[in-house]
Chain A
Amino acid sequence: MSVLEIIIALPLLAALAVWLGAPARAASLGATIVNLILVLYAVVQYGGKTGLAFTCSHPILENPALSFAVGADGTSLILALLTALVMLAAIWQIQDRPAIFYVSSLLIGGGALGAFLTTDVFFIYAFHELALIPTFLMIALHGRAEPAQRKAVAWKATIYLGAGSLVLLAGLVWLVLEFSGGSKLTFDLEALRNQAKLTPLPDAKQGQIFFLLLLGFGSLVSLFPFHSWAAPAYATAPTPVAMLHSGVLKKFGLYGLIRIALPLLPQGAHVEWVQHALIWMLLGNILVMGLVTIHASRLDDTLANSSVMHMGYIFLGIASGSELALKGAVILMFAHGVSIALLFGLCGRMRNQLGTLEYNKLGGLATHAPAFTVLFAFGAFASIGLPGLTNFAGEVMIFLGNFTEFKAGALTPLQWAVILALWGVVMSAVYMLRAYRSIFHGSPATGLFMIDPALSQRVPFILLAATLLVTGCCPWLLLNLMKSAL
């Protein structure tokens, strides 16, 4: 029995309990708080260790070798911490909603924890699918749009994610078949990794499989051009679902690339055609989506599109493959998760109180809701990469990591991509400050009235903002968890 199993089981059991009639808010809050403490305990215990820890395995099948195996290294712990934080914040901020909100949030969070903390490819995949189901249902049932429209949005997201998962499944099966050598199939990640070290595949084949995995994982992360599900889905999803999906669940695709694709196919991302394709796609994320975000005229649109855009930077770290950039990508995953969850949470609150998110109808909110404004500023400035908040550390590590191999006078395509991506940092400042200006600055618009949330309702947002500040000033707190090379 490992602490990780408790961490995974707790939200799922709590969801079951709430479904069976336990008091929804008390049960889910209790479970998530205990969960956060357990994750923190695991993080502290892990300390400066390297490799997998807290491993525990329960065999299920002989051949193919399938077992429910848990285990965590620094990357998975950072993401588990992210999940526990965002899940707590998302559940805490729910107000006057039916129990299904709590159940679905717990299921999404539990599924994400399962995906991050198991080490068997089968279960990594299965847990992610588990988390997708409540996402879909919540958008379709409780989305903030006309029933027909929200159903369409939910279907679009589901079809995209389903198709992505299918491609991903094909890639994973191919991978397992290649490394199992025909005699005995195994889904165990460690066994596959060892096999990959002993008998690496030829580079060309690595490239092909990597590309398949990239498309699969990529569409889960809204990699350009497979992104058009994301913006409407986040804009429509109920607040806790938007927080959990954009903050946590979306990171699953990136986690998969870092945990599965890169170690098993170390040369995959460096095959020339794959690299070039990846560069085009991630520049699409950054530059095209940056412009699309500038064009947005509603806060939820801006946030949703910006979240698509920022994925480009993480892909930039993955494309680089250097240690610095990869660790930067993990930090940025954490940072983006916390900041976008914070922003979506606040955005949902604004919508509930004001009934509109159109920029030209808002203004001057800072006058009546100063605390709300400060919290929003944390999220907004984090997402434009202000130093002192976590996103900056991640972004700068990614940028620097791409320049560790350098020849003066001959920039690699990836380095040109970094320079173009830096322009994206300017663009994100443009749309975020425009949004901030038209929502909070200026004189209060007539007929709009918003007050600060009560102190107990501020807690989840303060939790997220404080996380951004602490890990932003001391990114080594997170880096200490990743002592070993990824």
Chain B
Amino acid sequence: MNASIPLLLPFFSALVILLGHRQLKGAAVLISVGSSIISFIACLALLAAADDKTNNQLLLPFIDVGHFHANIDVLIDKQSRGMMFIVSFIGMLVHIFSLGYMKDDEARPRFFGSLSLFMFSMTGIVLAGNLLMMFIFWELVGLSSYLLIGHWYQKASAAEACKKAFLTNRIGDFGFMIGILLLFGANNGNVNLFDLETAFKHGGPLALGSPGYNASFTTAAALCIFLGAVGKSAQFPLHVWLPDAMEGPTPVSALIHAATMVAAGVYMLVRVSFLIEASPLAAEIIAGIGCGTALLAALMATQQNDIKRVLAYSTLSQLGYMVMAVGAVAMAAKNGHDGAHAAEPGHPAMFHLYTHAFFKAMLFLGSGAVIYACHHEQDIWKMGGLRKHMPVTFWTFSIGTAALMGVPFLSGFWSKEAVLGVAFDSGCKVLFLMGAATAALTAFYMTRLLIVAFFGKPRTESAHHATEAPMVMILPLAILAIFSVISGYDVLATPLQAMKPPHVEGHQTVLVASLLALIVGVGSAIFLYRGKDKDPISIKLFANKFYFDEIYAVIVRVCQDRLAWIVTALERVFVDGLIARLPTAIVARIGAATRMLQGGHMQGYTFLLGGGVIGVVYLVVYVLPRLGH
């Protein structure tokens, strides 16, 4: 099955819509939604044509110089097939949901055009057969995210948020590009994922233990590549853009900032897991950063009042989980648990990514339905009692919440179990304990959200008059709710092939810990928040997100704006001064001196003329003969 349909169809759709939407009018929406549906069908065909051979095919030429080739070639294996399924499926549902959510927006064609652009670039990342192609689409998802966050660009907060998202990602891309350059150099100009894996796997010229192995180089390359994932997957310390990205329309938050694009970092790390396994130090740093992000974000989530922000921090936290799993798998591999957690066929991080995509997209779409019903009110303390007004939304939202908390037999339970299990196997107890603590916090803040928004009495007019959302919005919710339940089971055998790690025995500790975390979290939240009209606890540090934004603002002001000011001043004084003004001054001084000779007095000239004649005569008569001329 040719992969060009899901890749190129959204591209042309985006091109047509973004460049000609005023001529197209309503047709723009149809083109975009249609292309997403056709892409999904093509992806199903891709799944059905399940040949396990890793397939590297050239799609389009890009750069071709001498023996160097950087082309658009696709790598279709289990992982990319499974990821394609998630991207195109959730993408299609979000397209359909947006039909309802964006109905009254004047700039709807632009929205759908950007959405198509996103589908194109995300598909590109998933299918990328080499790192350079991945980087190309990596930047393009950044662009589409920029366009979508800034959809309501008239609002200052949205305009700032999209800029912040793009710039923070640029910092990550800075590292990603260095990593690509290092690998490019080390592997003789070949950044093909398949060939890189051969080089780094056992017996390859760059593998751990081979003569060509260089520990500091491998760690540097792995960490540089990881920096790309830190940006895109919003890990500490570049996590600040994701909560702000909630300025975008809610379907965008569901698709891009919860289910797919932010998971691209994790997907990419899994793609290059051979590199991380080759560097134990990098693996530990990655696991540590992932774990730290998970815990920090969960703490921040407990004190947020904006329904979308709670979900945003929860996304951060879950992404931290996935990144931790990537690091932990590499650490566990070193500890001898090699067979159990090899990157093929299933990786715990990919498994969690896959289940998380469904329930988090569902939660966001559910919050979208709530926001839509409450006339764009996002503060949970101004909602309440929505359970009765919006039953379908309530039930689907509850299922999503339960899946996220890891209630047994829902999808999140299995994947969280896998992640905690591998953290346990990594041999680092802190990792596991922090993971478990995060699980408890997750249960706490999600229960809080559910109780405050859906239970109790309506606290405002808009909550009182809320009504159930229209059919185009309910339908995606219901489908996603079903997937939130079943995606952990083998029902979805084909996409799961790539996702679910083989079952691991002997993790009683993990099971007990996660159940305990769930009970503690839910219990304390019910105890604290039941029937309350305002937040009973207030922790400034968490509510203000550990003051990261403020700290970064100072850093940007000092390290960038102030530095720019100083450099500009120095440039004016020294460069312009030394190169331009100093020579000018010298020439002017010499000019002023020699000007005396050109006073405009005929007699002065005559005097000089006479002196000159005498000088010439002296030269001709006395000096030159002596020199022998």
Chain A residues in the interface with B (C-beta under 8 A): 156, 160, 224-229, 288-289, 291-292, 294-295, 323-324, 327, 364, 366-367, 374, 381, 386-388, 392-393, 396-397, 399-400, 402-406, 408-409, 415, 418-419, 422-423, 425-426, 429-430, 433-434, 436-437, 440-443, 474-476, 479, 485
Within the assembled complex, what's the spacing in Å between the Cα atoms of A482 and B167?
35
Task: Indicate which residue in A324, A367, A429, A442 contacts B167 across the interface (CB closer than 8 Å).
Answer: A429
- Given the known A-B contacts A364-B154, A393-B63, are A292 and B579 also in contact in the complex, defined by CB atoms under 8 Å? no
**Contacts A399-B177, A406-B186, A442-B156 supplied; 7 other A-B pairs, CB < 8 Å:** A228-B579, A228-B580, A295-B561, A324-B66, A374-B19, A403-B181, A440-B153
The interface on chain B, measured as residues whose beta carbon lies within 8 A of the other chain's beta carbons, has a size of: 57
Task: Indicate which residue in A327, A408, A415 contacts B65 across the interface (CB closer than 8 Å).
Answer: A327
Does B520 make an interface contact (CB < 8 A)?
A: no
Task: Indicate which residue in A366, A397, A422 contacts B177 across the interface (CB closer than 8 Å).
Answer: A422
Does B613 make an interface contact (CB < 8 A)?
A: no
Task: Indicate which residue in A367, A386, A403 contacts B185 across the interface (CB closer than 8 Å).
Answer: A403
- Given the known A-B contacts A228-B580, A408-B217, A434-B163, are A292 and B174 also in contact in the complex, defined by CB atoms under 8 Å? no
Task: Indicate which residue in B64, B162, B189 contacts A479 across the interface (CB closer than 8 Å).
Answer: B64
Within the assembled complex, what's the spacing in Å between the Cα atoms of A443 and B171?
28
Cβ–Cβ contact A403 & B217, under 8 A:
no
Task: Indicate which residue in A291, A419, A443 contacts B563 across the interface (CB closer than 8 Å).
Answer: A291
The residue of chain B having its C-beta at the shortest distance from the C-beta of A395 within the complex is: B177
Cβ–Cβ contact A426 & B217, under 8 A:
no
- Given the known A-B contacts A294-B560, A295-B568, A425-B170, are A419 and B156 also in contact in the complex, defined by CB atoms under 8 Å? no
In the complex, 23 of the A-B residue pairs with CB atoms within 8 angstroms, ordered by the A residue number, are: A227-B575, A229-B580, A289-B571, A291-B560, A367-B154, A374-B18, A387-B136, A387-B140, A388-B136, A396-B63, A404-B189, A406-B184, A406-B186, A418-B181, A425-B173, A430-B560, A441-B159, A442-B156, A443-B156, A476-B64, A479-B63, A479-B64, A485-B66
Q: Which 9 residue pairs spanning A and B have beta carbons closest together?
A: A406-B185, A441-B159, A387-B136, A403-B185, A408-B217, A295-B564, A291-B567, A291-B564, A441-B153
Q: B506 to nearest A CB, angstroms? A: 40
The residue of chain A having its C-beta at the shortest distance from the C-beta of B206 within the complex is: A408
Q: List which B154-171 residues lie within 8 A (CB) of chain A.
A: 154, 156, 158-160, 162-163, 166-167, 170-171
Q: A45 to nearest B CB, angstroms? A: 21
Cβ–Cβ contact A295 & B154, under 8 A:
no
Cβ–Cβ contact A408 & B181, under 8 A:
no
Task: Indicate which residue in A288, A436, A479 contacts B571 across the interface (CB closer than 8 Å).
Answer: A288
Within the assembled complex, what's the spacing in Å between the Cα atoms of A406 and B18?
42
Does B139 make an interface contact (CB < 8 A)?
A: yes
Within the assembled complex, what's the spacing in Å between the Cα atoms of A406 and B185?
5
Does B178 make an interface contact (CB < 8 A)?
A: yes
Does B236 make an interface contact (CB < 8 A)?
A: no
Within the assembled complex, what's the spacing in Å between the Cα atoms of A433 and B149?
14
Which residues of the partner chain A approach B139 to less than 8 Å between Cβ atoms? 386-387, 392
Within the assembled complex, what's the spacing in Å between the Cα atoms of A433 and B64?
31
The residue of chain A having its C-beta at the shortest distance from the C-beta of B578 within the complex is: A225
Does B214 make an interface contact (CB < 8 A)?
A: yes
The residue of chain B having its C-beta at the shortest distance from the C-beta of A226 within the complex is: B579
- Given the known A-B contacts A291-B567, A408-B214, are A476 and B61 also in contact in the complex, defined by CB atoms under 8 Å? yes
Which residues of the partner chain A approach B216 to less than 8 Å between Cβ atoms? 409
Cβ–Cβ contact A426 & B150, under 8 A:
no
Q: B242 to nearest A CB, angstroms? A: 18
Cβ–Cβ contact A441 & B65, under 8 A:
no
Chain B residues in the interface with A (C-beta under 8 A): 18-19, 61-66, 68, 70, 132, 135-137, 139-140, 143, 150, 153-154, 156, 158-160, 162-163, 166-167, 170-171, 173-174, 177-178, 181-182, 184-186, 189, 212, 214, 216-217, 560-561, 563-565, 567-568, 571, 575-576, 578-580
The residue of chain B having its C-beta at the shortest distance from the C-beta of A406 within the complex is: B185
> Would you call the interface of chain A mostly helix, strand, loop, or mixed?
helix
The residue of chain B having its C-beta at the shortest distance from the C-beta of A436 within the complex is: B163
The residue of chain A having its C-beta at the shortest distance from the C-beta of B154 within the complex is: A443
Within the assembled complex, what's the spacing in Å between the Cα atoms of A479 and B143?
26
Q: A436 to nearest B CB, angstroms? A: 8
Cβ–Cβ contact B178 & A422, under 8 A:
yes
Which residues of the partner chain A approach B62 to less than 8 Å between Cβ atoms? 393, 474-476
Within the assembled complex, what's the spacing in Å between the Cα atoms of A156 and B560?
30
Within the assembled complex, what's the spacing in Å between the Cα atoms of A436 and B163?
9
Which residues of the partner chain B approach A433 to less than 8 Å between Cβ atoms? 163, 166-167
Which residues of the partner chain B approach A430 to less than 8 Å between Cβ atoms? 167, 560
Within the assembled complex, what's the spacing in Å between the Cα atoms of A352 and B189?
49
Cβ–Cβ contact A476 & B63, under 8 A:
yes
Of residues A388, A392, A441, which shows the largest number of chain B Cβ atoms within 10 Å of its Cβ? A441
- Given the known A-B contacts A400-B181, A479-B63, are A292 and B564 also in contact in the complex, defined by CB atoms under 8 Å? yes
Q: B520 to nearest A CB, angstroms? A: 43
Cβ–Cβ contact A295 & B214, under 8 A:
no
The residue of chain A having its C-beta at the shortest distance from the C-beta of B569 within the complex is: A295
Of residues B64, B137, B140, B579, which shows the largest number of chain A Cβ atoms within 10 Å of its Cβ? B579
Cβ–Cβ contact B174 & A404, under 8 A:
no
Cβ–Cβ contact A409 & B153, under 8 A:
no
Which residues of the partner chain B approach A392 to less than 8 Å between Cβ atoms? 136, 139
- Given the known A-B contacts A409-B217, A433-B167, A476-B64, are A381 and B143 also in contact in the complex, defined by CB atoms under 8 Å? yes
The residue of chain B having its C-beta at the shortest distance from the C-beta of A373 within the complex is: B153
Cβ–Cβ contact A429 & B166, under 8 A:
yes
The residue of chain B having its C-beta at the shortest distance from the C-beta of A367 within the complex is: B154
Cβ–Cβ contact B166 & A225, under 8 A:
no
Within the assembled complex, what's the spacing in Å between the Cα atoms of A294 and B571?
13
Which residues of the partner chain B approach A423 to less than 8 Å between Cβ atoms? 174
Cβ–Cβ contact A479 & B65, under 8 A:
yes
Cβ–Cβ contact B135 & A387, under 8 A:
yes
Which residues of the partner chain A approach B166 to less than 8 Å between Cβ atoms? 429, 433
Q: A287 to nearest B CB, angstroms? A: 8
Cβ–Cβ contact B181 & A399, under 8 A:
yes
Which residues of the partner chain A approach B564 to less than 8 Å between Cβ atoms? 291-292, 294-295
Q: A366 to nearest B CB, angstroms? A: 6
The residue of chain B having its C-beta at the shortest distance from the C-beta of A364 within the complex is: B154
Within the assembled complex, what's the spacing in Å between the Cα atoms of A440 and B212?
52
Cβ–Cβ contact B184 & A294, under 8 A:
no
The residue of chain A having its C-beta at the shortest distance from the C-beta of B187 within the complex is: A406
Task: Indicate which residue in B154, B174, B578 contacts A422 across the interface (CB closer than 8 Å).
Answer: B174
Which residues of the partner chain B approach A443 to less than 8 Å between Cβ atoms? 154, 156
Cβ–Cβ contact A228 & B575, under 8 A:
yes
Task: Indicate which residue in A409, A415, A422 contacts B214 across the interface (CB closer than 8 Å).
Answer: A409
Task: Indicate which residue in B143, B156, B159, B174 contacts A425 across the interface (CB closer than 8 Å).
Answer: B174
Which residues of the partner chain B approach A418 to less than 8 Å between Cβ atoms? 181
The residue of chain B having its C-beta at the shortest distance from the C-beta of A326 within the complex is: B65
Cβ–Cβ contact A388 & B140, under 8 A:
yes
Cβ–Cβ contact B171 & A426, under 8 A:
yes
Within the assembled complex, what's the spacing in Å between the Cα atoms of A426 and B170?
6
The residue of chain B having its C-beta at the shortest distance from the C-beta of A428 within the complex is: B170
Of residues A392, A434, A475, which shows the largest number of chain B Cβ atoms within 10 Å of its Cβ? A475
Q: A234 to nearest B CB, angstroms? A: 16
Which residues of the partner chain B approach A415 to less than 8 Å between Cβ atoms? 181, 185
Q: B18 to nearest A CB, angstroms? A: 8
- Given the known A-B contacts A426-B170, A479-B64, are A441 and B560 also in contact in the complex, defined by CB atoms under 8 Å? no
Within the assembled complex, what's the spacing in Å between the Cα atoms of A327 and B64?
11
Which residues of the partner chain A approach B162 to less than 8 Å between Cβ atoms? 441
Within the assembled complex, what's the spacing in Å between the Cα atoms of A387 and B140?
7
Cβ–Cβ contact B170 & A323, under 8 A:
no
Within the assembled complex, what's the spacing in Å between the Cα atoms of A227 and B575?
9
Q: B151 to nearest A CB, angstroms? A: 11
Within the assembled complex, what's the spacing in Å between the Cα atoms of A154 and B575?
19
Q: B9 to nearest A CB, angstroms? A: 16
- Given the known A-B contacts A156-B580, A288-B571, A437-B159, are A426 and B65 also in contact in the complex, defined by CB atoms under 8 Å? no
Within the assembled complex, what's the spacing in Å between the Cα atoms of A412 and B281?
25
Q: B493 to nearest A CB, angstroms? A: 36
Q: A152 to nearest B CB, angstroms? A: 11
Within the assembled complex, what's the spacing in Å between the Cα atoms of A381 and B178?
21
Which residues of the partner chain A approach B568 to less than 8 Å between Cβ atoms? 291-292, 295
Within the assembled complex, what's the spacing in Å between the Cα atoms of A294 and B171?
16
